[in-house]
């Protein structure tokens, strides 16, 4: 009997120690993208890896979509410590804060050659990202491409002329400028508001990669996809710097390794999913059009460069860095 009691007490002690270790650090993460998106799946993998690699010392959890509010609200939560990390587009997220505005250039139309080029840019420019976001309390890691973006509309778009007077959703000012350059009107809203907006006619369309569009079932309300590859968008993992800085070095290593593995996981998923999503959209009744006058789109957007670079030396300096990477 005494042996049984001792065994129970020992087991309880072990469980107590495990519980204490599990609660040593909390890592609450969030993205405004769907759990089914490649970024969402990458975040789920990151959380799994942190929990595993930390041996329970970090308890990581993830939220997706609008569970924690809009992207702007999630970024603010991470800044003030209500989240420890947010997965956000640099331009629409931290780029909304003073001093970080040039991050919008990551989503500049027709600036990057292809997805491989874009991924090289994301990795090479991480020091510049941190230089901008550190003053507002963030440490950036793990830049991930969301793939080249196309135009999804309720009306067919076969050429730039078909964009005239369409109301198009864009996440930030760069997209609005682009839409206006090609003859459309732009309206900003969070990603999670697009489905209803297209359904009720608030906007005539949106844009995104096939993977991101399909993950949110946006083809339910838009049956025309024009292949334009006009912008490649990205996200970074933005950690609350106070939280990250407080970690011991071995757990910082755990975080870094988990980020690198999650990025590689998302990249492989995204490459495969772009093709699969496009085929799924076709099966769901979407008409896909290869735009033939893409040079006219590029020419219409060319004036945006001077407009944005005139905003300050910091804009030109970051633009020069982005365009220097082959």
Q: Looking at the 3D structure of the chain, how many domains does it have?
A: 1
Between CA 183 and CA 300 the distance in angstroms is 9
Query: What's the pLDDT at 8?
Result: 39
Query: What's the pLDDT at 12?
Result: 44
Within a domain: residue 7? no
Query: What's the pLDDT at 47?
Result: 98
Residue 30's domain is classified under what CATH number?
3.40.190.170
pLDDT along the chain (326 residues), means of 10: 44 44 82 94 98 97 95 97 98 96 97 96 98 98 97 97 96 95 96 96 97 95 97 97 98 98 97 96 97 96 96 97 96
Residue 105: φ, ψ to 5°:
-70, -15
Whether the CB-CB separation of 289 and 158 falls below 8 Å is answered with yes
Within a domain: residue 6? no
Residue 59 forms beta bridges with which residues?
26
Within a domain: residue 10? no
Q: What is the C-alpha radius of gyration for the chain, rounded to an integer number of angstroms? A: 22
Strands 185-188 and 167-170: parallel
Q: What does each C-alpha distance from 7 to 2, 15, 16 come to in angstroms? A: 9, 12, 14
Within a domain: residue 269? yes
Residue in this structure with the two tokens 């030396």, named with its chain if needed: 313
Within a domain: residue 1? no
Within a domain: residue 14? no
Within a domain: residue 73? yes
Between CA 226 and CA 148 the distance in angstroms is 12
Q: Which domain holds residue 191?
A: 21-324
Within a domain: residue 241? yes
Between CA 147 and CA 152 the distance in angstroms is 15
Element spanning 153, H or E? strand 150-153
């Amino acid at each position: 009997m005494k042996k049984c009691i001792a065994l129970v007490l020992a087991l309880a002690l072990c469980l107590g120690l495990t519980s204490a270790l599990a609660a040593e650090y909390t890592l609450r993460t969030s993205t405004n993208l769907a759990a089914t998106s490649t970024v969402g799946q990458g975040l789920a993998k990151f959380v799994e890896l942190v929990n595993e690699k930390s041996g329970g010392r970090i308890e990581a959890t993830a939220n997706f979509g609008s569970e924690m509010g809009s992207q702007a609200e999630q970024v603010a939560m991470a800044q003030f410590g209500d989240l420890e990390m947010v997965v956000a587009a640099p331009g629409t997220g931290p780029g909304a804060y003073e001093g970080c505005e040039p991050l919008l250039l990551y989503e500049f139309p027709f600036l990057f050659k292809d997805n491989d080029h874009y991924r090289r840019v994301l990795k090479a420019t991480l020091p510049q990202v941190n230089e901008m976001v550190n003053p507002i309390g963030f440490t950036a890691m793990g830049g991930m491409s969301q793939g080249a973006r196309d135009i999804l509309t309720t009306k067919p778009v076969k050429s730039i002329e078909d964009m005239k007077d369409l109301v198009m959703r864009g996440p930030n000012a760069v997209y609005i400028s682009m839409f206006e350059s090609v003859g459309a009107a732009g309206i900003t809203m969070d990603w999670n508001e697009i489905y209803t907006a297209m359904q009720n006619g608030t906007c005539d369309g949106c844009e995104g990669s096939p993977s991101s569009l399909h993950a949110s079932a946006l083809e339910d309300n838009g049956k025309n996809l024009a292949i334009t590859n006009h912008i490649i968008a990205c996200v970074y993992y933005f950690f609350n710097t106070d939280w990250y800085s407080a970690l011991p070095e071995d757990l910082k290593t755990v975080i870094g390794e988990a980020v690198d593995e999650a990025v590689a996981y998302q990249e492989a998923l995204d490459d495969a999913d772009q093709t699969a999503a496009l085929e799924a959209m076709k099966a769901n009744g979407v008409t896909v059009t290869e735009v033939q006058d893409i040079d006219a789109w590029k020419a219409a957007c060319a004036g945006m460069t001077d407009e944005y670079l005139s905003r300050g030396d910091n804009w030109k300096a970051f633009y020069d860095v982005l365009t220097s990477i082959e």
